[in-house]
Amino acid sequence: MIVRIGRGHIKPGTWDAYEAVYRRELLEGERPAGLIGRWLVRDVDDEHGGYTIGFWDDEEALSAWLESDDFAEAQETMRPFFVGDFQVHTCEVRVRED
């Protein structure tokens, strides 16, 4: 399993609007092949900070999503909400407990 973790900051006062766009762009509609699940989490110590966490079957499924028109469209729609850097890390799950 592959996990893609993104960290960024949302413009003050826009979290609710960002969350609505996240839901519309990434949770509604057809689910990408190989996607296990997604989380959007808000930092409890920084109301403007948050993480996106995506769980994928393998790197090929993640790569196919990242190269898709749907991903590009979602990025363009959500980009205006962010300030500063958006850091992304792709990780291989080595140990897990369900």
Q: Label residue 98 by pLDDT band (50, 70, 90).
A: confident
Q: Is the pLDDT of residue 83 over 90?
A: yes
User: What pLDDT sits at residue 29?
Assistant: 85
| pLDDT at position 50 | 97
The pLDDT score that the predictor gives to residue 58 is: 97
Tell me the two tokens of residue 3: 């996990």
Q: Is the pLDDT of residue 12 over 90?
A: yes
Contacts of 30 (CB under 8 A, 6+ apart): none
Q: Which of 3, 5, 20 is nearest to 81 (CA)?
A: 20
Tens-place pLDDT, residues 42-71: 999 999 999 999 999 999 999 999 999 999
CATH number of 2-92: 3.30.70.100
Q: Which pTM does this prediction carry?
A: 0.90
* Residue the block writes with tokens 């826009």: 14
